[in-house]
Amino acid sequence: MKNQAASEAMFDALGDPMRRRIVERLRRGSMPVGELAAGLPVGRPAVSKHLKVLEGAGLVEHRGVGTRNLYALAPQGFVALQQWLDPKGHPDEPPADSPPGRRRGPRRGRV
């Protein structure tokens, strides 16, 4: 269940178009909020709020460098997302090509 909540948080965070644009910009490397906001149609306060959501979902991390906070993609968050997308890495789901009698998962009572 913990993995499900984490993956839901990631998908919720990436469901917003502005957050996806922020992630795209961070693919180029670490940036301070001001530099991120300069290329977006929203101000610094809005970018900061979006970064907080992305950080809470484990997709972005920040570190202080002098008086600035630099934001970067969190590689582990995207590894977890990739594992969730990979059917072999998702123990709750049977492989799509497995026969119905061989599927894993909770058993259901017969009627």
**Sequence ranges of the domains in the chain:** 2-88
pLDDT at 65 exceeding the cut of 60: yes
Strand partners of residue 73: 60
Bridge-based pairing state of the strands 31-32 and 68-73: antiparallel
Average pLDDT over residues 81-86: 80
Query: Could you count the other beta carbons within 10 Å of the beta carbon of residue 12?
Result: 13
pLDDT at 1 exceeding the cut of 50: no
pLDDT at 93 exceeding the cut of 90: no
Bridge-based pairing state of the strands 68-73 and 60-65: antiparallel
For tokens 């900061």, the residue is 48
Interatomic CA distance for residues 36 and 62, integer angstroms:
13
For 10, the 3-state DSSP assignment is helix
Of all residues in the chain, what percent carry a pLDDT higher than 90? 50
Q: Do 22 and 54 form a contact (C-beta atoms < 8 A)?
A: yes
At 14-62, the pLDDT tens digits run: 999 999 999 999 999 999 999 999 989 999 999 999 999 999 999 999 9
Strands laid side by side in the 31-32 sheet: 31-32, 68-73, 60-65
User: Which CATH number is 2-88's, of 2.20.25.10, 1.10.10.10, 1.20.120.1200, 3.40.190.80?
Assistant: 1.10.10.10
